[in-house]
């Protein structure tokens, strides 16, 4: 591919260096494939705020849920290969196998792990994509454009701005948590205090029918580093039908924090009043629970890997499958994604 002077060219460019983009990049390197990972490296992300909890049983009667129940084993393989990533067995109130990735350890270790695996990292924010020759030109907010034969959208809630015709099931919400510097004495380092049923899942399913914004709090607390995360507030807005206005703008953090603290009252432990840092991020999800994994319809060489509600369980088992597809786009791995119902066929 001819590359104009000053442009950077690579075979494969993954846009977004959160959980999805990073584990996909590692899976591509496991196959010996060259990959460049683009991320601005700033701003709050779903991966940063996540509890990182991984249920060891299927949460639904779907092929994806059965696959995701094996995620703990995949995290062990990743740690054998790359060293500590923060994964550890945990305890919940029911005697079911559960584990957690400590977000602080994961965030600290990731840069070194990616570098050691040979992932080329670029700092920058993509602002547009265009077909160019046999591949894609990716324009950046700052600096010269990038050029790649294959481009994967793994930018979480930033995917739709880059490719508006992604299927409508890909949506976004706002999540809020409180971060405590020190873990409460009552909470063991491997203890998860979480509701039996998350209202978030129900709200995400109802998203297409919403006429007005809706928010819920799933009261819970989990360890993170030496501290803890307390949450979780979820705000979902109806689909944006206006033209030109930025979709899903950031809600007022003070108002969101008040909602969260009020919603934590059922924990009855007084933690809702303690000094803590409120953090919020825009988060992608799919209203039918099935993330988008595969080639984008009508855009040869463009792929998507986004819309995970339980990314820490889904991403590690799906990244190797998508890496196989990228290595051999006509191969059998695509059939597996089709059977799982994850291909992003319909544009709209």
Ligand X SMILES: Cc1cc2nc3c(=O)[nH]c(=O)nc-3n(C[C@H](O)[C@H](O)[C@H](O)COP(=O)(O)OP(=O)(O)OC[C@H]3O[C@@H](n4cnc5c(N)ncnc54)[C@H](O)[C@@H]3O)c2cc1C
Nearest alpha carbon to residue 183 among 281, 274, 258, 90: 274
Q: For residue 11, what is the enclosing H or E element?
A: strand 8-15
Residue 157 to residue 246: CA distance in whole angstroms: 13
From residue 100 to residue 139, the character string flagging contacts with ligand X as x (rule: CB under 6 A) and all else as - is -------------------------xx-------------
What does the alpha-carbon distance between residue 51 and residue 177 come to, in Å, rounded to a whole number?
10
Q: Quick check: 296 binds ligand X (CB under 6 A)?
A: no
Report the distance separating Cα 144 and Cα 146, nearest Å.
7
Find the binder of ligand X among 170, 177, 187, 230 (CB under 6 A): 177
Nearest to ligand X of 63, 328 (CB atom): 63
**How many residues of this chain bind ligand X (CB under 6 A)?**
39
179 binds ligand X (CB under 6 A): no
Question: Do the Cβ atoms of 86 and 109 come closer than 8 Å?
Answer: yes
Rule CB under 6 A: is residue 236 a binding residue for ligand X?
A: no
Smallest distance, ligand X to C-beta of residue 150, A: 16
Judged by beta carbon, residue 157 or residue 290, the one nearer ligand X is: 157
Tally of helices (H runs) and strands (E runs) in the chain: 10, 15
What DSSP letter does each residue of 273-321 carry, written as one string? GS--EEEEEEEEEETTS--EEEEPTT-TTEEEEE--SSHHHHHHHHHHH
Residue 92 structure tokens: 């919940």
Q: Does 155 bind ligand X (CB under 6 A)?
A: yes
* Binding window for ligand X (CB under 6 A); candidates: 245-253, 303-311, 319-327, 331-339: 303-311
- 290 sits near ligand X (criterion: CB under 6 A): no
Among 13, 14, 20, 286, binds ligand X (CB under 6 A): 20
Residue 35 touching ligand X (CB under 6 A) = no
Q: State how far the Cα of 19 lies from the Cα of 10, in Å rounded to an integer.
A: 21
Q: Nearest to residue 214, comparing CAs of 244, 183, 171, 184? A: 171
Peptide linkage before 275 cis (omega within 30 of 0): no
- Token pair for residue 201? 């899942």
* 46 binding ligand X? (CB under 6 A): yes
Q: Bridge partners of 295?
A: 303
Two structure tokens written together for 233: 């507030």
Residue 339 backbone dihedrals phi, psi, to 5 degrees: -60, -35
Strand partners, 177: 231, 279
Is 263 near ligand X (CB under 6 A)? no
Q: Does 15 bind ligand X (CB under 6 A)?
A: yes
Of 50-58, 181-189, 243-251, 319-327, the segment contacting ligand X by CB under 6 A is 50-58
Which of residues 86, 135, 145, 158 is near ligand X by CB under 6 A?
158
Task: Establish if 310 lies at the interface with ligand X (CB under 6 A).
Answer: yes
In whole angstroms, the minimum distance from the beta carbon of 54 to ligand X comes to 6
Q: Which of 50, 179, 191, 272 binds ligand X (CB under 6 A)?
A: 50
Cβ contacts of 348 within 8 Å, gap of 6 or more: 165, 167, 168
The window from 206-214, 244-252, 309-317, 338-346 that contacts ligand X (CB under 6 A) reads: 309-317
Where helices occur in the chain by DSSP H, the ranges are 19-30, 46-49, 63-68, 71-82, 103-117, 159-162, 199-206, 253-263, 311-327, 333-339
Q: Which stretch binds ligand X (CB under 6 A): 58-66, 90-98, 157-165, 340-348?
A: 157-165
- Residue 320 binding ligand X, by CB under 6 A: no
State the minimum distance, in angstroms, from the CB of residue 111 to ligand X: 12
Decide if residue 49 touches ligand X (CB under 6 A): yes
**Chain residues that interact with ligand X, rule: CB under 6 A:** 15-21, 38-40, 43, 45-47, 49-53, 125-126, 154-158, 162, 175, 177, 231-232, 281, 283, 306, 308, 310-313
């Amino acid at each position: 591919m001819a590359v104009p002077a000053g442009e950077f060219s690579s075979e494969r460019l993954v846009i977004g260096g959160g959980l999805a983009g990073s584990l996909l990049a590692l899976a591509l390197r496991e196959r010996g494939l060259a990959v460049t990972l683009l991320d601005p490296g700033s701003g709050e992300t779903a991966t940063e705020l996540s509890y990182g909890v991984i249920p060891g049983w299927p949460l639904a009667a779907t092929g994806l849920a059965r696959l995701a129940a094996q995620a703990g084993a995949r995290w062990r393989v990743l740690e054998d290969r790359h060293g500590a990533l923060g994964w550890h067995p945990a305890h919940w109130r029911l005697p079911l196998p559960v584990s957690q990735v400590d977000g602080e350890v994961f965030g600290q270790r990731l840069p070194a792990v990616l570098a050691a695996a040979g992932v080329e990292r670029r700092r920058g924010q993509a602002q547009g994509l265009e077909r160019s020759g046999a591949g894609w030109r990716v324009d950046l907010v700052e600096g010269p454009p990038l050029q790649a034969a294959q481009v994967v959208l793994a930018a979480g809630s930033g995917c739709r701005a880059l490719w508006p015709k992604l299927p409508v099931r890909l949506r976004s919400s706002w999540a809020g948590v409180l971060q405590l510097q020190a873990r409460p004495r009552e909470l063991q380092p491997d203890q998860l205090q979480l509701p039996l049923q998350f209202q978030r899942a129900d709200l995400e399913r109802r998203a297409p029918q919403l006429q007005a914004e809706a928010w819920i709090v799933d009261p819970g607390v989990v360890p993170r580093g030496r501290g803890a995360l307390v949450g979780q507030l979820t705000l979902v807005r109806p689909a944006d039908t206006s033209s030109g206005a930025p979709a899903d703008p950031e809600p007022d953090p003070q108002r969101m924090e008040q909602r969260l603290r009020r919603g934590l009252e059922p924990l009855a432990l007084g933690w809702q009043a303690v000094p803590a840092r409120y953090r919020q991020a825009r988060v992608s999800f799919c209203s039918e629970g099935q993330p988008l994994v595969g080639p984008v319809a009508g855009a040869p060489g463009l792929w998507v890997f986004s819309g995970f509600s339980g990314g820490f369980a889904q991403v590690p088992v799906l990244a190797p499958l998508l890496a196989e597809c990228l290595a051999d786009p006509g191969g059998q791995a695509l059939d597996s994604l089709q059977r799982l119902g994850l291909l992003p066929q319909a544009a709209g």
